[in-house]
Structure 1
Amino acid sequence: MALSRRPYAYSKVDKEDPEDIIHRRAQFLIHKVLEKADSRRKASCLRIRISKLKVKIGKRLRRLRKRIMSGVSVARLGIHGHLMTQIKTWKRLFGLGRQTIVTLPPLVK
């Protein structure tokens, strides 16, 4: 051990006990974790408000998405039904899909 010559001065220790080093390190880590926990507690009210707002916005977006999807599916069904009726009328008018032969009755004189 090298001691300084001034009174009440710190002395420099060449080797430290390994248990003391581990203990100091553990105390430092515990102190850091406690500081983090204290800083988080201060903003917890704001954090709760933000999370509630996120949930509220998420619910509204989900409802909006459902409405849009149901509207799109209803529109598809409506368009599909309309197209099918148009195709049927065109088929009836032009006789697509089958050949129609018109025979005239014989003339009687």
Structure 2
Amino acid sequence: MQCQENGCPGKGREGMAAMNRSSYGYSRVDNEDPEEAQHRRAQFLIYKSMQRADQAGRRRRRPSWLRVKISKLRIKIGKRLKRLTSAVFSAKMDLCKHVSCVFRSCKTSLLPARHVRTLPAPSVCS
């Protein structure tokens, strides 16, 4: 048997297209109702115009004065809280250092002193 130009005997181009399509693939509908096509196109145009209007509305919109005030206030409060937490942290560290120093001094004054052996003074030979 001799193959035709697409490689399938006797089926022509339709046979090759059917072989290339997967079992779950969609096939193109050639005969579409003109009213449905017009309706689909009108829906697409409506969707596009609504999308453009939505994008144009977003670009032109200025933030309200109240929104700007609130955002500035939040920034101001955040900066003050940051300063406050750093001040509290440094005060806490200073307090810890002071308490440990006091404990050390109490320890040396309350505990009996250890006998420390002193080395004899070096003799000077002349």
Task: Give the structure, 1 or 2, with the largest relative contact order (CA under 8 Å, sep 6 or more).
Answer: 1
> Which runs of no fewer than 5 residues in structure 2 stay unpaired?
1-33, 116-126
Structure 1 residues 14-38: Cα deviation after superposition (integer angstroms, max 9, x where no partner):
5242332211111123334445x38
Which one-letter code corresponds to 1:59 in the other structure?
K
TM-score (norm 2): 0.52
Q: Which residue in the other structure is 1:60 paired with?
A: 80
- Please report how far the alpha carbon of residue 79 of structure 1 lies from its aligned counterpart in structure 2 after TM superposition: 0.4
Q: In the aligned structure 1, how far is the partner of 2:37 from the partner of 2:54?
A: 23
Shift of 1:71: 0.9
After TM superposition, list the pairs within 5 Å mapping 1:76-87 onto structure 2.
76-87=96-107
1:21 aligns with 2:67: no
**TM-score using structure 1 length:** 0.59
Higher helix share: 1
Q: How does 1:6-17 map to 2 (within 5 A)?
A: 14-17=35-38
Q: Which residue of 1 aligns with 2:15?
A: none
**Secondary structure at 1:15's aligned position in 2?**
helix
Q: Aligned partners of 2:100 and 2:73: how far apart in 1?
A: 40
Structure 1: runs of 5+ lacking an equivalent: 1-12, 99-109
RMSD over equivalenced CA pairs, Å: 2.8
